[in-house]
Structure 1
Amino acid sequence: MTEGSSNSSSSSSLPHFFSQISPLYPSPTPDGKLDTVEFLEATKSFIKMYDLLGTTFYVVKRDMSGNVDKLYKTYNKDPEKYKYLNDLIYGERSDPHLYAVEALLWLKRAMEFTVIFIRGITEKHHKGVLSDRLDHIATEAYNQTLKPYHMWLVQNLFKMVVKSVPNRSELVKSLYFGKAGSDELLSKDLLIYLKQLETNLSIIVQMYDKWGLNNDNKV
């Protein structure tokens, strides 16, 4: 992330967003199921990262939070039946309105956008690309994940969103809660966190592919 981050022992021990985030994404059961509440609570914590990206990203946070609420609404209809996210989606797949199915689909897309964006920052740093600008990485992530499902009005809105992403040094400082910390430690903890998050995303992708629940509807 930033070359100018301190590598001293004092800075390397500083807490940052990904060392403090809790709860973490759940480990799947042996048969590949995700605990619904654990997944949703982890997502609520993950969404807080958008508070560090600036007020323009409120639109993304609001949308993701709204979809978490919709999934909780379905879960609360029968917590025992819907203990696992897989069972919730399977049970709701034939709902004529598909509230839960649609909510998780959009939540997945927004999570994929965020994962591609923050992984892109780390990967470019490891390749020696130390440009402070990040808007092009955010644009690439948006083009891969959300843009195909947005109509032109929403696309124009997101152009402003991705252009407002802070630069690399500002983002690292924000993730260290306003202090200068070790970039290497941040990257290490970030990649550990992403590995479990991506395990959860992979299971969701498999569910939607298996049950034919993807769609190309635009908003």
Structure 2
Amino acid sequence: MALLMEHQFRQLPADRQVETRPFLEAVSYLPHFFCLGPTVFAPIKADFSGNLTKMKTVYDSNPGRFKTLQHLLEAEKEMHGTEWPKVGATFALMWLKSLRFIQAFLQSLVNGEKDDLNPNLIRVNANKAYEIALRRYHGWFVQQLFKAAVFATPYKSEFLRALSKGRDVKEEDCLEKIRKFLINFSATVDAIYEMYTKMNAEVDSTA
């Protein structure tokens, strides 16, 4: 599980503020995750990488002012007025919906959810993650593309082997490391969603 465990997310402080630089550094390694299933994850990876680049550009313009993600959103709200939150890093971070997709997908795996007739397939996990994280933001055409692409997902054994960088690791050992990764990762993703709800920064848009 080296691919995930080598780049752990930080434990959140008591105020649940997410520091921007460590967050961007940890998130920058996640596009490698999408290479594990290139067909089904390709459009998600492209969208993810583009929005991550936008966030880094804004942060690098004034690291001191944008120390936490909340500082960044508050500053952009002040700077952009009525155009906010549909601009800048605020909008880019909102569209990193694939963070929730990854969270839901990995959580489904460790929860043992599977197709009883085809237990080595991960379509059930991918579909559940899509329903939770992305479906509401996609129009009918994109939804159909995902349904078609999900049939190209690798077998669970292949996926876990790829996460372990090709090493033969017992499935339960892999899943246990995913559970550990999810502790800080899920807390971070949940904190971001809570922040957007609290600041009324969520934009319900369909692509």
TM-score band, normalised by shorter chain = 0.7 to 0.9
User: Percent same amino acid at aligned positions?
Assistant: 26
Aligned residues: 201
Distance 1:36 1:129, change over 3 A: farther
> Secondary structure of the equivalent of 2:165?
coil
Map of 1:29 onto structure 2: 13
Q: Which amino acid aligns with 1:42?
A: A
Q: Distance in 2 between matches of 1:161 and 1:130?
A: 18
CA contact (8 A) 1:124 1:130 kept: no
Q: Distance in 2 between matches of 1:31 and 1:115?
A: 22
Residues 145-164 of structure 1: pairs in structure 2 closer than 5 A: 145-164=133-152
CA shift, 1:77, in A, is 2.1
Q: Is the aligned partner of 1:105 residue 2:64?
A: no
CA contact (8 A) 2:19 2:68 kept: yes
Q: Distance in 2 between matches of 1:25 and 1:125?
A: 25
CA shift, 1:215, in A, is 2.1
Q: Distance in 2 between matches of 1:32 and 1:176?
A: 30
Residues 61-76 of structure 1: pairs in structure 2 closer than 5 A: 61-76=45-60
Q: TM-score normalised to the size of structure 1?
A: 0.83
Q: 1:194 pairs with 153, 157, 182, which one?
A: 182
Distance 1:79 1:194, change over 3 A: same
Q: Is the aligned partner of 1:184 residue 2:172?
A: yes
Unaligned segments of structure 2, at least 5 residues: none
Q: Distance in 1 between matches of 2:98 and 2:173?
A: 26
Map of 1:3 onto structure 2: none
Q: Is the aligned partner of 1:52 residue 2:36?
A: yes
Question: Would you identify which runs of 4 or more consecutive aligned residues in structure 1 move more than 6 Å?
Answer: none
Q: TM-score normalised to the size of structure 2?
A: 0.88
Q: Distance in 2 between matches of 1:105 and 1:161?
A: 24
Moved more, 143-152 or 167-176: 167-176
Q: 2:68 pairs with 68, 79, 84, which one?
A: 84
Map of 1:174 onto structure 2: 162
CA shift, 1:55, in A, is 4.1
Distance 1:185 1:161, change over 3 A: same
CA shift, 1:143, in A, is 1.3
Unaligned segments of structure 1, at least 5 residues: 1-14
Q: Distance in 2 between matches of 1:182 and 1:53?
A: 20
Q: Which amino acid aligns with 2:49?
A: S
Distance 1:152 1:120, change over 3 A: same
Distance 1:129 1:46, change over 3 A: farther
CA contact (8 A) 1:53 1:166 kept: yes
